[in-house]
Amino acid sequence: MKKIFAILLSLLMVMSMCMAVSASEAVPFDSSWEISVTSQTGTSIKNAFDGDLSTNWHSNYKAEGSKILSHDECPHVITINFGKDMEISGWRYTPRKDNETGTVLAYNIYASKDGENFNKIFTGTFDYATKTKAEFTPSEASWGTYTMKAVKIEVTNSRGGYGTAAEIEFLKGTSGTAIENGEPFKGQSTSAPKAEAPAASTALAGELLKNDGSWNISASSAYGTGNAAGKAFDGDKSTYWHSAYKAEGTKIVSKEECPHTITVDFGKTVEIAGWRYLMRHDNDTGTILAYNIYASDDGVNFTKIHTGKFTRTPGSVKEQTLYEDFFTKTSMKFIKIEVTSSVGGYGTAAEIEFYKNGGSGSASASGSSGVEFSGTKIPKGADWKITATSEFTPIAKAFDGDVKSYWHSKYTAEGSKIVSRDELPFKIRVEFPSAIDVSGWIYTPRSDNSVGTVTAYSIYASEDGTNFERIYIGSFANFVSEAAKNKPESATWGNKKMKAIEIEITGGISNYGSAAEIEFLTGGTAAKEDAVFEGEAKNGIPYLSRKNWDIRVNSTMGNQTIQLAVDGNEKTYWHSKYEAKDGAVVGHDNPPYNIDIDFGLVKTISGVNLTPRQDSLNGNFIIANLYAAEKSGDELELIKENVPFEQSVGDKEIFFLSNIKASKIRIEITSAVGGYGTLAEINVLGENPDFETVDYESFRKIEKAGVLYKIDKKLFDISYEGESWATSTPDKALDGTVKSFWQTEQLETGEEVIFVVDMKKVQRVKEITYTPRDTNDFHGCWLKASVWVSADNENWIPVAEDIVLDKDLSTKKIPLPEEMKIRYIEFTVHEYFAKRVSVAELDFYQYEGEDDGEKYVLTVGSNEIKYRENGEDKAKTIDVAPYIVNGTTLIPLRGLLELMGAEISWNGDNQTIGVKGENIDLTLQVGYKIVFVNDPTYGNIKYTLRTVPVIKDSRTFIPVRFVSEQLGYNVAWNGETQEITITR
C-alpha cells in the first residue's frame, strides 16, 4: 500500500511540475563558446556546460586532508563569450547533488554587445539557503529577450561562500519573461535594452458578458482536463487553460505550436464589442502576444472581424496582468480566438470575458499616448521671455512645439565620459507680457533617453514679475518606470494670476534636467489633497499625504531617485551613488545621507515610518538622526539622536512620545549596511490624539525620559529541553545578529515550545522584542505566544498571555506593563508556522537609570570618569585610561571601584585582587581567567572571564563589565561614542 501511495505521489509531483514548468527552451551548447571564471579548482568551469549532472564546477580552495585551509570568497564571475549575437531571455541553474556547499543563492547578470563592455541587466536569488541536497532541483530566472554577444554571471552569495554548479544553461529569446527570482537592475547603465511597456487596462470600457454556465467552450489544443479551455471561463483566476505538451520530469520533449484556437458557442445571438484577457498567475509562458478574432452564426463559417496584439510586460506574472481590446460591435452566435503568437509558442489564459459594448473605452490594447489634464492649454506667445539657470541645449527647445528636440541642463564631456555638470536644482522662468491666469502645466520628457526626466519640482508664482511665492510642490514618481517613460504628465493647482512663473526642478533622473515640451494650462481645477496617503499606520495613526512634498537627498544613483521612496511601491527604491566597472563596484558615496522633506505647510507629526528595500540588506539603515523645523525659514533642530535600527526587511519606525509641529524634517543616515543608502518608502505619521503637542525643548526632555536602552546580553543564557535543527541552537537567539537563528526540529501538531532566558542577575526590563528568522517562507514564525517573568525562578508573573502575532518578518514588541526587576523570562509559543519554532534574535530593553541613582560614564582612551553624586553631575580624573582587549574593556583597579564604594585589596605575593561590595566578595588574579564570587544567595561560585586581569604600565587592569555587574550595576556600551555607562 505504501508503495502504491508513493507511486501516486510521484505521479502527482510530476504532473504538478509539468503544469508549473516554464517550458523554457535552452540554447544548445556550442563548443566554440569561450568560457572563463575567476576561480576554479581541478573541477573546471567547463564541467557546468558538459551536459553531465554528475560533474560540476567548483571555486578554488586549499585543503589538508579533510580540513579546509583557505578558499576564494564570493563574488565568483563566470564569463561566456558566444562569439556571435544571441537572443537570450534567461538562464537555468542546476546545483550539484552531492553537497550543499557552493550552491548559488544570489547573483547578478551582465550583458555585452561587443564582448568587452558589460551592463548589469538583472539581479536575482535562488531559494536554496535552507534546503538539503535532496531537495535541490534546477532553478530558472528570466529577464526578457536581450541580444548579446557575451554574458557574465556574478555569484554574489552562496552556501559557504564557495561557487559550484552542476549545469548552467541559457534560455532562448522569447522563451519566457517571468521575473521569478529577481528584478531588472535599476542601476547606472543607460545603454541596456529597454523593457517593453505593459498593456493598458480600460476597466470602465463597457458592460461585461460572462459565462453563465450555458456556453459550450472548446480549444484546438489543451493539456489534459486540468488545463482545459473551460478553465479560462470558470471565474477562478488561479486556474487556467494551457495548450498541449509532453514532459519527462521537468524537461519538455514536445509541444503543440501556435496557432491555437478557442471557440465559444453562446447558444444564442449576442453582440460583442471587445474582449478581456487575464494571463495565468504562476508563469509568463503562453501569454498571448498576437491574435485574430472570428465571428460566426452557424459555427461552421467564420469571418475575421479583428486582428490585435498585446505587449508583454516583463515580470507581470507577479501582478497577473489584465489585457483588453475592442473592435466594431458585431452580432454572432459563435466567437473564435486564434492565438497566432505567444510566449514560448504555447497558449494559456487564466480568464477570458467579452464586452457587450465599448462604452467610452479605447479601441487600443496599448493605451493612449496622450495625457489627461484639467483646463485649457495656453498657446505659447512669441513675446514670452523664457530663461533657464542651466543650459546644454537651449531652453527654447522646450517651447518649440517639437517633441523630438529638448532642453538639457549643462554638462561637459570628453568623449563618452562626463567630466563636469551643473547640479540640481535648475530653474526655468517664463515671463508673460501681462498677468494671466495659470492653473497648471504639462511636462513632456525627452523621447530618446530617460536621463534628466523631471521627478520632483516646485512651482513659484509672481504677480509683479519680481517677487515670487511657492504655490505648489509636485513629483512625477512614475517616470522612473519603463511603462510611463517619455509620456506627458500634468499637474494643476487652480487658477493663479501671475506675470511670471518659475519651475524649480529639484529631482531629475541621474541628477540632470531635461524637457521635450513644457505647456501651461488655464481654468483647471486644483488637485485635491487627501488627509491620508494610503490608509493608516500600524498603530492607527494616519500617514501625512505625500502629494506635495519637496523631497531631496544628497546622493542618487542614476534613475533610482528619492522620489521612488514616495511612489507607494515597495518594490522600487532610492539608492545612493556608486561607481561600477566590469560588473564590480569600484567606489561609492559614504554616509551621512541627508533626506530632506519639506511638507509645504506646518503639520502636526508623531513619528516616521521607513520601509527598507525588500530584496537585500545592502543600504539598510543602522543609525539615524532626525531633525525638524516648525517654519520653513527656521533652522533644523536635532530632535532624536542615534536612533538604532534592526537589520531586516521589516518596517523601521522612529517613534515619538509626543506630537510636534513641523514644516520640514531631515532624516540623517549616519551608518548603513555596506556604506550605501537605500530606501523603498517613507511615511510620516500625523497627529496622535493620545499625545500632547509640545515645543521642541519639551519634546527632547520627554524623549530622553522615555528612551529605552538595549540591555547587553553577552552573559545571558537560554535553555530549551527539546531538539534543535542542525546547528541552529538556542544560543543563536542571543548572539546579537539576525543573520543566524535558532530553530527547533519538526514538532508534533499542537505541541507547545517552552524555553527560558536567564539574565544571570536581576535587571530592570520594560520591553522585549522578538525578531523572526529572515526567510520568505516564514518557517518557524510565532503566531501565538505567552511570556512570564520571575526574579527568583519561583514566583512567576504573567506579562503577556496568548498574544497573537502577525506572520511576517518584522520585529515584534512585547511590552511589560511597567519596568520590572526580573532575572528569568519564560516564553511559551502556542502556535507557529510550518511545525517549527524559530527566532533570529531576542532583545531586552530598559529605561535609563533614574536621575537620583548612581551613574558612571567612562570613555575608552579618556582619563576622565563622569559620575552623578546626590543628583549632581561631577567628574574625576584617573591616571590611566580604559582600553579594549579582545572586545573586553579593561579599567584601572583604582578609581571607579572606589567611587562605587567598594573595598579593594591587593596581594603582591600571588597578584590577587579582592573586591568587596555591599553583600558580595570577588577574588581575581592577574593572568588568570578564573574568578571566585561569594554571593549571599548562591554561595561560592566560580566564573570564567573572557579576558584576564593584567598589569600594564605598572597599573592593574580588570574587566569593567563583569566586576560592575557582580556589584549590582547595569552596564551599557555605545560603540559609536566608545562610552561605557554604568547605572544602578
Write the pLDDT tens digit of every residue in 192-202: 222 222 222 33
pLDDT surpasses 80 at 870: no
CA distance 49 to 953: 64
C-alpha grid cell, residue 44: 573546471
User: What pLDDT is stored for residue 973 in this prediction?
Assistant: 86
Question: pLDDT tier at 708 (50, 70, 90 boundaries)?
Answer: confident
Give pLDDT, residue 185. Answer: 34
Cβ–Cβ < 8 Å for 925, 912: yes
Instruction: Please report where in the chains the cell 517593453 appears, as a residue.
Output: 196
pLDDT band at residue 215 under the 50/70/90 scheme: very high
pLDDT at 593: 95
In the prediction, which pLDDT does 840 show?
96
Percent over 70 (pLDDT), the chain = 88
- pLDDT category of residue 4 using cuts at 50, 70 and 90: very low
How many residues would you count in the chain? 984
Question: Quick check: 942 and 930 in contact, CB under 8 A?
Answer: yes
In the predicted model, what is the mean pLDDT of the chain?
83
Give the Cα separation of 491 and 443 in Å (integer): 9
- The pLDDT of residue 182: 39
Q: Between the CA of residue 855 and those of 19, 646, 818, 823, 983, what are the distances in Å?
A: 67, 27, 22, 21, 4
- Report the pLDDT value the prediction gives residue 183, as an integer from 0 to 100: 35
912: pLDDT strictly greater than 90: yes
pLDDT at 174: 56
Could you tell me which residue, 65 or 808, shows the higher pLDDT?
Answer: 808
Task: Give burial (CB, 10 Å; 0-12/13-18/19+) of 946.
Answer: middle
* Residue-wise pLDDT tens digits, 223-275: 887 888 899 998 888 889 999 988 887 788 888 999 999 999 999 999 888 88
pLDDT of residue 154: 92
The string of pLDDT tens digits covering residues 128-169 is: 877 888 788 888 888 777 888 999 999 988 988 899 999 999
**What confidence score (pLDDT) does residue 381 get?**
86
pLDDT(181) > 80: no
Instruction: Collect all residues with Cβ–Cβ distance below 8 Å to 454 and sequence separation of at least 6.
Output: 443, 445, 476, 479, 505, 507, 508, 513, 514, 515
Q: What distance in Å separates the CA atoms of residue 210 and residue 212, rounded to the nearest whole number?
A: 6
Instruction: Give the predicted TM-score (pTM) of the model.
Output: 0.39
Predicted confidence band of residue 930 (pLDDT cuts 50, 70, 90): very high
DSSP alpha helix (H) spans, 90-222: none
Give the range among 354-368, 665-679, 823-837 with minimum mean pLDDT: 354-368
Confidence of residue 13 (pLDDT cuts 50, 70, 90): very low
User: Which pLDDT tens digit goes with each residue over 497-556?
Assistant: 999 999 999 888 888 899 999 999 988 887 654 443 444 566 678 888 887 788 999 999
pLDDT band of 485, cuts 50, 70, 90: low
Query: Are 101 and 162 in contact, with CB atoms under 8 Å apart?
Result: yes
Average pLDDT over residues 483-498: 78
Q: Which tens digit of pLDDT belongs to each residue from 746-783?
A: 999 999 999 999 998 888 899 999 999 988 889 999 99
Give the integer Cα–Cα distance in Å for 903 and 905.
7
156, 75 contact by CB (below 8 A): yes
290, containing H or E segment: strand 288-296
Rounded distance, CA 937 to CA 185, Å?
62
When pLDDT is cut at 50, 70 and 90, the band that residue 473 belongs to is confident
Grid cell of 209 as nine digits: 458578458
Predicted local distance difference test score (pLDDT) of residue 189 = 27
pLDDT on residue 15? 42
Contact between residue 504 and residue 513 where contact means Cβ atoms under 8 Å apart: no
Lowest mean pLDDT among 90-94, 363-367, 412-416: 363-367
Residue carrying C-alpha cell 502577525: 806
- pLDDT, residue 366, reads 28
The reply to whether omega before 138 is within 30° of 0 (cis) is: no
pLDDT at 175 over 50: no
- The per-residue pLDDT for range 337-361, each reduced to its tens digit, is 999 988 888 999 999 998 887 533 3
pLDDT digits (tens, 9 = 90+) for 631-659: 878 899 999 988 888 777 888 888 898 99
Any idea what the Cα angle at residue 595 is, between residues 691 and 638, rounded to 5°? 50
pLDDT beyond 70 at 617? yes
